[in-house]
Amino acid sequence: MLRCEKGFIFYEGMLAIFMLMIITMTMFPVMLQLQQERVTIREEREAIYLMQQFLLHQNQGSFFPLPATLQGEIQTYDLLAKIEENHIHYCLQWEGRNGREQSWCLSHYH
């Protein structure tokens, strides 16, 4: 009777390891995607901060040649501007850590 119990415990152990491997294999890509999206959100926050700083300097009379490149701690952003009648439309563009093109735009009325 002891031999049957030892074989049954081995079978349960192998089944548990197999189930753990299946769960790990399905969750790893999801966790990797989640981490990349978290970094992309941090990049977007940094882009918003850099845009705010840029507009503050513009309002104080410090003008930068456009298009410009803004360097953040995480990413490098391209700043583009489109001048219209009563406002300027600024856009920051970059390639996110997730591999997709990202942009964040803001209009400045004067």
Determine the pLDDT at residue 35. 93
Mean pLDDT on 73-94 = 90
Is the bond into 67 cis (omega within 30 degrees of 0)? yes
Q: What is the CA radius of gyration of the chain?
A: 26
| Tally of CA atoms within 13 A in the half-sphere of 17 that contains its CB | 6
**Residue 3, CA distances (Å) to 8, 9, 11, 51 in order:** 9, 10, 12, 72
Q: Residue 87 pLDDT more than 70?
A: yes
Closest-CA residue to 33 (of 78, 85, 92, 100): 100
Q: Residue 45 pLDDT more than 80?
A: yes
At 1, the pLDDT band (50, 70, 90 cuts) reads: very low
pLDDT digits (tens, 9 = 90+) for 10-40: 888 899 999 999 999 999 999 999 999 999 9
Q: Residue 6 pLDDT more than 70?
A: no
